[in-house]
Structure 1
Amino acid sequence: MSKLKVRIVDPHTLMLEETGQVGDTIDLKSLHSVDETFIMERIKSQQDETYNRLLQGVIKENHSQIQLKLNEQLRNFELEKNKLIQDKRDLEGRLSSQVELSKKNEQILTNALKSEFELERQRLNNEIQTIELKIKQNLENTYKDQINQKVTLIQSLQAEKEKMIIEHQLQLNQKLAKLNDDISIKEKEIEALKRERSSRNIKTIGENLEIWWMSSSKMCLFMDLKPLHLLKITWSSKQKVILKVQKVTTFLKYLTMSPMISY
């Protein structure tokens, strides 16, 4: 079931504005629209004075009710406005008092915090100075002990170094003296070997010259050459053989055919 929408056509007629079913109802207190055509025609024709009188009464009554409601709403509005204004004033007063109180409390709190901060800062500075003094003293004592240990160690190492240098120098001198002795012995041995080698070379050269001379003399006789005064052999003070060749032109042919002398 539902309530249907209707409108007033005339004082005796209603018109449905939507499709209805059996059982649907119409609420006369909540009519949705009024067909003003009939009313306007009746007003213009002035045929129904009773209707006009009733209508005027309704209009006046509605106007009076509307005016009463407007007046009541206006009074309520004024009361509400005055209440809001007073609440605003009270709130502003409380806010002003709270702001002033907050400023005072803030100043008091700020001063208290500043004093507390200054005391804490002074305490921390004193504590820092005490700690720094202790650390400085501990470091000085520690470094002093370490420096003394280092100095003692350096002195010990320096003495050990000087001792090692002296011992090393002594060993070097001994080795150098032995090396000089060995060198002197080796030099004497080398000189002896040189003299022995020189003697052997001179003996070998003499023997080779003797063989060569004999063979060259025979060759000269065979080739009808005069070997006389071909070579003149002399000995120097250093035991070196000096060959002076004479009549080279005559002997060139023979040299090309004879073996070289090896020294």
Structure 2
Amino acid sequence: MARIVLGVEYCGAGFEGWQTQPHGRTVQDCLTAAVVTIAGAPLHIQCAGRTDTGVHAAVQVAHFDTEAKRPLTAWVRGVNAHLPDGVAVTWAREVGDDFHARFSARARTYRYVLHNRPVRNVLLNGRVGWFHAPLDLAAMQAGVAHVRGTHDFSSFRAAQCQAHSPVRSLMRAEVSAIGEWFVFEFEANAFLHHMIRNLVGALVHVGKGSCSPEWMAELLAQRDRRYAPPTFAPDGLYLAGVDYPDSWQLPDGGRIIAPAFMPSGF
């Protein structure tokens, strides 16, 4: 029995999230079907981080066990031949059976790409977030500084979140901009359900001038989702990196981070 780990990227606009569903319209469902075609036997695929409906992955990591003996190229080119246009395997490695795509990861990085102009960008519909009113970059940078570190993120947690604890450690939380493009980037040991989209929604609230940057700290202290703004749209959210110990000999030493999203990337 071999354990194979895959690098996967996908556009979430055409899927109802990662996790398998009876109707089969998820990334896990279509990837499993393609891998099974190459393996010739049923198997189960597990990922580094489950994404919601409409959320994309520039870097997703998944693994499965199989008795099939195939060259690594078969798990890339062969599987891709059976995948829809919105999903692709980018690399494959064989690892020991003590590797786990989710539990072996030390951290994950998410990016939210936001287009800030009066009219939405129809050419990038479903690929980027959008906000119509001008946003103050300096205010959002000051606001995001308040959420760095280890906190109880109950104010940014979805009501249906099943995590046992609302405490998470944000090692990195940044906002940058080029022209009318804003990029929000977060790296943490783990995330709560809708945590990134709720943080972005609150930061946009600060950026448009409705609240001061210090309001982010007040939201954290309240530990109550009712006081935070609505959850922001999933369109611009990307799983952009997964960090593993070097010992697994994965691409880039295990710190698999997608290139920064900037306008030239679209």
TM-score by length of 2: 0.15
Q: Relative to total residues, which structure has the larger helix share, 1 or 2?
A: 1
Structure with bigger gyration radius: 1
Q: Relative to total residues, which structure has the larger strand share, 1 or 2?
A: 2
TM-score by length of 1: 0.15
Q: Which has the higher contact order (CA 8 A, sep 6+)?
A: 2
